[in-house]
Structure 1
Amino acid sequence: MKHIASHYKVLIWIGVCLVCGVLAAWAGQRYLHQQSDLLAQKNKQPMIERVVAAHFLAAGTVLTETHLATRAFPLSAVPTNSISVSQYQRLLGGTLRAEVAAGDMVLPLHISQTQVAAFSTRLVAGRRAVTMPVDQINSLAGLLRAGDLVDLYVSFDHQRRKITAPLLQGVLVLATDEHTSDMPSQEAGHYATVTFDLAPEDGAKLVAARQTGSITAMLRNPHDAQLSNKGVRGDLATLLGVNQPSAEFKTVPIIYGNKTSRQVRGVDAIPNAPRSAVLDVETPEQLSYQYEVQHALVD
């Protein structure tokens, strides 16, 4: 019995040793893995995505979205002037100065941006651009947009009467503030200035008119080529027919001895018709924008 008991003790000790060995091996392996992970984390470099060439790009290529892709680079290897994914629009429309291999970063120094033409190049030879602040012109409550045609009327005092007459007709609107007709996102709204396309003499008339009178813009249909020579005079009551003057009659002089002659209405006197508030004024023979079109064809 003692022999069997000692045999079981040996087996138990062998089992305990095996378990301890396995635990020691597992703990050692786990420790080694932890140290390896710590070492890898310590040596691992942070990565960052940058814009690269999607494929080989030859010199002179005008960049579009199809030419660009993204790729991760170690942070320490990224140039300071590299383009991030959120800034890729800076490259669009640029022309490559030199070829770029597929996967290489596209940097600002690789491209030359197309220079925007000066605003003056929009003018036909012999034309002038005149800018007016909206506080000196009725801006149609912000409805004007570049490319519209307007008639400009001037209101002023003449011989103690209010006169409103057409100044320029069919004037092309070049811009509202900095918004021009080639901006697809342009929307009607608030703006501070309006720029017109005019002949030099018309520009001088507009400058002179805004110094002593008030300017009002009337929106014109772009297909309307009719000219109007109608102006008005008098105050608002006269225009509406409320303040009609007393009728005037033809009179004849009568002399009484050596006394001053008196004007007496004749028997057959007919009252003179009151003057109409509407009057005809001289106008140009053609619209302002038509002059521009003809001038462009001649050139």
Structure 2
Amino acid sequence: MKTLAIKLHRALLDFVHTVRAFSRGTAILGKGGPLLGLLSQHWPLLLAGLSAIGAFFLTQSYAESKVMQERERLLPKGGLIEVLVAARDLGSGDIASPQTVAVRRMPQEWSLPGAIMPLDFDSINQRRVVRAIKAGHPLTVEHLRQGPAEQNGVRLEPGYRAISISVDEVSSVGGLIQPGDRVDLWGSALPLIQPSESGISSLPTDRTPVAPRARLIAENLRVLATGAKTERRSDQAAEQRGPNQAGTYATITLAVPVGLANLVLAGQLQGRLGIALRAAEELPRPAVVERRVEKSAPVTYAPIEILIGSAEGGLR
């Protein structure tokens, strides 16, 4: 563009000089019309106008070239790429979804190792964030948990608490319990409390031995984890372990409704809890059944009568 403007400017100057020489020649010979006479009289104005036009194109070409040079200097050599970034501040436990992830263009040299491209969104959709990330920062594989959030058994619904209880080979049903299973919790029955004549409740004094009884504390509880494992074993892995080799763990973590958390924790403090594994074909009930302990009505006492008398014992 710059070279073309220079050539155009030179061509205009040559044309003006040619017209000027031709007008002078015709004036000397006494030939030519009014137009040539006008050109011979006002050739300085014509030259100035053509020079201004050439200078305008030349200046525009120079400005465009400078802008292109500055743009090339500012832009990174690798160009711009599109990456997935956090649409808002994400904390540990949030889910990667179209509502929490956005697409941004950024210089390639600024991209972090392991940055996720828009074409890879399906592979990270519904995964759980394990490291907090600020809004606008690129998402990397280190920020996300491997595996969908629905399969890792860790996410708690509102109104639930994660409670871990100690188990052994017997209480864990031989190690057959896996994350995602449904279980029932059983505990020992509480001893009967008898109220005394003074109104103070106490345990039976005769200590008569009674047959052990069990009471259902909670049912249909979802297993979040067995030990540190939050994912189920595949059927192929179970076959490789063999029929007599079950999982080994000392604790299981359950999703317990807030209303039953007190009973489950009290059952642990009272003694050993029994765990019953529910059948996989049994549909979970919409709500966990809560067993409530009936409380006796509070004992009320008559007000104390106050007698006021004289020294001789007479009443006033």
Normalising by the smaller structure, the TM-score range is 0.3 to 0.5
The structure that is strand-richer by fraction is 1
TM-score w.r.t. structure 2 length? 0.36
TM-score w.r.t. structure 1 length? 0.37
